[in-house]
């Protein structure tokens, strides 16, 4: 059963650029623990996502020709982690104070009826009633859970695995969000997918192996413009937080366990070695929060 986490959550504090006008807080719902080889090098998903946000902040600062604020001064981004597999969630009071919630990837399948997954789906459904202004980000498993929470479907793809850096062909809405780019390149590690966009969402992009590689939902209101600062929910099937080392470690593990074939592993390693836009995608996410 989902319960508020009364213990001190995992916390990281990131100095925002001088242009930031206020402090921010993002709550990360940790839906898995990386494999040991990844933890040894990069830490758990709280550490990995905090790293992504730090790099994104540096990009934002460089755009203005400035460095992030020095320690002890300026506005801060607080990143808190909650282990939802163990039923740990932020309290309702914390959710009312927060700016965003991010749901991580997981080796689990979002269509399963494991108690912790059902709790997570119910939590997502309740969020707008707790804090209508809260922005929600879903990554891979998080993308699929959000689709399920909003009446969509997640299922095993008949096309099989999609692994390594893939080029996502963007829709017009995707081009708007990702600043006019025709494509974005992002690491993948999935064979489950969302076959169609739930009602109320718009498609961001696709590949030949996956029709729904991301989706967006804007804040409701007759006169609310569909701009980045009015995004309510954004999801990606891919992993902006991953790098080639992380992906190759997972490929090695899954090949050794027979989850993927040697041929697929070799092909996936080639994709994994290609450049990805993960840090820049993290920077685009920050625009949702006014950074």
pLDDT tens column, 194-204 = 999 999 999 99
Q: Give the pLDDT confidence score for residue 19 in this predicted structure.
A: 86
Q: Report whether 237 contacts 193 (CB < 8 A).
A: yes
Q: Report whether 245 contacts 196 (CB < 8 A).
A: no
Digit-coded pLDDT (tens) for 170-195: 999 999 999 879 999 999 999 999 99
Q: Which domains does the chain have, with CATH numbers?
A: 3-156+194-242+278-287 (3.40.50.880)
CA-to-CA distance for 184 and 102, rounded, in angstroms?
A: 20
Mean pLDDT of the chain: 94
Nearest residue to 34 via CA among 249, 279, 274, 235:
249
Kindly indicate the confidence band of residue 224, based on its pLDDT and cuts at 50, 70 and 90.
confident
Kindly indicate the confidence band of residue 1, based on its pLDDT and cuts at 50, 70 and 90.
very low
């Amino acid at each position: 059963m989902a319960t508020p986490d009364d213990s001190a959550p995992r916390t990281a504090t990131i100095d925002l650029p001088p242009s930031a006008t206020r402090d921010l807080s993002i709550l990360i719902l940790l839906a898995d623990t990386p494999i040991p080889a990844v933890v040894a090098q990069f830490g758990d998903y709280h550490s990995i996502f905090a790293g992504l946000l730090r790099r994104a902040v540096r990009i934002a600062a460089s755009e203005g020709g400035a460095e992030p604020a020095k320690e002890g001064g300026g506005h801060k981004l607080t990143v808190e982690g909650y282990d939802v597999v163990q039923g740990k969630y932020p309290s309702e009071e914390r959710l009312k104070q927060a700016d965003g919630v991010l749901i991580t990837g997981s080796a689990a399948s979002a269509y399963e009826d494991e108690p912790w997954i059902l709790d997570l789906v119910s939590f997502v459904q309740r969020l707008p009633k707790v804090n209508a202004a809260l922005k929600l980000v879903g990554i891979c498993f998080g993308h699929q859970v959000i689709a399920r929470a909003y009446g969509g479907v997640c299922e095993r793809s008949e096309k099989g695995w999609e692994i390594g850096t893939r080029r996502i062909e963007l829709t017009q809405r995707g081009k708007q969000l990702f600043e006019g780019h025709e494509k974005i390149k992002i690491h993948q590690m999935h064979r489950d997918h969302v076959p169609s966009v739930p009602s109320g969402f718009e498609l961001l992009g696709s590949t030949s192996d996956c029709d729904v590689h991301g989706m967006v939902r804007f804040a409701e209101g007759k006169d609310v413009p569909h701009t980045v600062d009015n995004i309510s929910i954004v999801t990606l099937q891919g992993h902006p937080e991953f790098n080639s080392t992380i992906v190759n470690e997972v490929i090695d593990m899954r090949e050794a366990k027979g989850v993927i074939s040697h041929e697929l592993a070799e092909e996936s390693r080639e994709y994994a070695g290609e450049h990805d836009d993960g840090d820049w995608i993290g920077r685009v996410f920050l625009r949702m929060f006014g950074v």
